[in-house]
């Protein structure tokens, strides 16, 4: 069985009709991983014994016809806690860490009967845009093994794109679900801040982080978000509003809707020609389907990158203080004093990019520099959010490219941090504003997938999915599948 050939609903139908069993699906997942992961490098660890046990129990109990996700395999990004399963955040600092509880999203997935296959590679502590910053392995893009899958959730994207699992979870702090989704031809969502519980997510930027699913289709994505969203008393930033079915009204089409086109996101000089062309063709299609295309302005988005990297790094500096060789994490053996424990453990346990961001964040928060850096970044963030609030009084959604280019070559930006940071230029404003955004495949450039992000109003994921679904039904981008060619 190839997961690239079926939607979640189709797999569910096969389970209900007893054409396959949950054990069959889990075994198919591990078989595909065995065949492909040596070249793709998506998984850091597998959970085979427990997964097969859970699958057998599901089959014995019987598949609930009304529960579409029951018995389906899923991969989990390695910064999301999984009880009794090693969780490293792709860092040497946590190489032997075994959580004693599940993240809320994992609890919710277990409650609907999904089966965790294993933990997926990522940029260390979710800091990076290419999944080249993992302490353990390199993940490659299934469309071209010489290219990156994006980051930081590159393992989560690569596993779904390679057909190893039908769905996976990632986390998005500044674009870390949407960029890999764009680079690997998948659907990936960054929900409204507070929509999905962060309890059990190893924190990077606490005011920015959100967990979101990767799937091949829009409706599949909505179904998984249904399962993991909702209020959680263990997360003080969790949204108290009513539970929403994101598939409701998904097939209403776009006739009469107003789609905003933020002009700042279409600077032709700064983007790959094929990316702009694919997104503009998508806008033409929306117009033919009856939507009104309206040019809007988000003038303060140009401050997104500097504001984001100060705020995110400052929060990371605070969140990662606990990893000191005493309370949590790796402890250096070559020490002679308490100071040695702190300095050497953190120096040896953290990778270069993590140390770079801790230093930037600590500097931004330090006495004498707080007002000039962190305070200014927070003020810019408010202006960015106000821009979104203003344009959403005029339009139903915004449509823009997800990334400025298609997937770049492995090693192409790793030695140039500023170039890597600029890869997030179109995604970070969404995180700063807290609004939801969904990346969907909208075409190809140089035989690599192009992603288009559909940005919605706060807590209006339903409209976002509706607009994305209408586009997906009118196109055939899903008919093309990765070749798993290339590589060293």
Query: Catalytic residues, which ones?
Result: 77, 152, 176
Instruction: Pull the structure tokens for residue 470.
Output: 């209408």
Helix or strand (DSSP H, E) at 441: strand 437-445
**At what angle are helices 304-319 and 352-365 packed, to 10 degrees?**
100
Look up tokens 């062309």; give the residue. 277
- CB proximity list for 324: less than 8 A, separation 6 or greater: 341, 342, 345, 346
Helix or strand (DSSP H, E) at 448: strand 448-455
Q: Cβ(398)–Cβ(261) under 8 Å? A: yes
Instruction: Pull the structure tokens for residue 43.
Output: 């998984």
Q: Cβ(298)–Cβ(262) under 8 Å? A: yes
Q: Cβ(123)–Cβ(131) under 8 Å? A: yes
**Which residue in 319, 297, 110, 62 sits closest to 203, CA to CA?**
319
Alpha helices (runs of H) in 123-189, residue ranges in sequence order:
154-161, 178-184
Q: Cβ(12)–Cβ(70) under 8 Å? A: yes
Instruction: Pull the structure tokens for residue 412.
Output: 């192409």
CA distance 288 to 255: 9
Q: Is the dihedral of CA 449, 455, 461, 464 positive or negative?
A: negative
Q: Cβ(156)–Cβ(169) under 8 Å? A: yes
Count of alpha carbons within 13 angstroms of residue 244, beta-carbon side: 21
CA distance 419 to 78: 25
């Amino acid at each position: 069985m190839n997961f690239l050939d079926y939607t979640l609903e189709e797999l569910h139908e096969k389970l209900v009709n007893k054409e396959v069993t949950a054990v069959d699906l889990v075994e198919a997942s591990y078989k595909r991983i065995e065949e492909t992961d040596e070249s793709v490098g998506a998984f850091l660890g597998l959970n085979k014994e427990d997964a097969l046990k859970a699958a057998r129990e599901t089959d014995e109990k019987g598949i609930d016809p009304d529960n579409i996700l029951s018995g389906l395999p899923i991969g989990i990004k390695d910064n999301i806690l999984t009880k009794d399963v090693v969780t490293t955040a792709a860092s040497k600092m946590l190489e032997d860490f075994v959580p004693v509880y599940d993240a809320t999203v994992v609890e919710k997935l277990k409650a609907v009967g999904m089966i965790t296959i294993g933990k997926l590679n990522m940029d260390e502590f979710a800091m990076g845009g290419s999944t080249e910053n993992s302490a353990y392995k390199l993940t490659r893009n299934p469309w071209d093994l010489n290219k990156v899958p994006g980051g930081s959730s590159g393992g989560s994207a690569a596993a779904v794109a390679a057909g190893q699992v039908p769905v996976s979870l990632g986390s998005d702090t500044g674009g870390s679900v949407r960029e890999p989704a764009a680079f690997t031809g998948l659907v990936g969502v960054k929900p409204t801040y507070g929509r999905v519980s962060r309890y059990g997510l190893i924190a990077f930027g606490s005011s920015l982080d959100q967990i979101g699913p990767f799937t091949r289709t829009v409706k599949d994505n909505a179904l998984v978000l249904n399962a993991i969203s909702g209020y959680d008393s263990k997360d003080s930033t969790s949204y108290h509003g009513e539970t929403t079915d994101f598939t409701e009204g998904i097939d209403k089409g776009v006739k009469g809707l107003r789609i905003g086109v933020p002009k700042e996101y279409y600077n032709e000089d700064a983007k790959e020609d094929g990316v702009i062309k694919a997104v503009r063709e998508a806008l033409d299609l929306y117009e033919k389907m009856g939507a009104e295309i309206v040019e809007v302005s988000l003038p303060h988005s140009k401050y997104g990158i500097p504001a984001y990297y100060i705020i995110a790094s400052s929060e990371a500096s605070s969140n990662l203080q606990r990893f000191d060789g005493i309370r949590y994490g790796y402890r250096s053996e070559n020490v002679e004093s308490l100071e040695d424990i702190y300095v050497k453990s953190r120096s040896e346990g953290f990778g270069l990019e993590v140390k770079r961001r801790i230093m930037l964040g600590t500097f931004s928060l330090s006495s004498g520099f707080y007002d000039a850096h962190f305070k200014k970044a927070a003020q810019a963030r408010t202006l960015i959010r106000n821009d979104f609030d203003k344009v959403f009084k005029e339009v139903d959604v915004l449509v823009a490219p997800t990334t400025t280019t298609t997937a770049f070559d492995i090693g192409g930006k790793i030695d140039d941090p500023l170039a890597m940071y600029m890869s997030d230029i179109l995604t970070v404003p969404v995180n700063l504003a807290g609004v939801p955004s969904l990346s969907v495949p909208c075409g190809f450039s140089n035989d690599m997938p192009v992603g288009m992000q559909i940005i919605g109003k706060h807590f209006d994921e339903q409209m976002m999915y509706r607009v994305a679904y209408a586009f997906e039904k009118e196109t055939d981008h899903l008919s093309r599948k990765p070749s798993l060619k290339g590589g060293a």
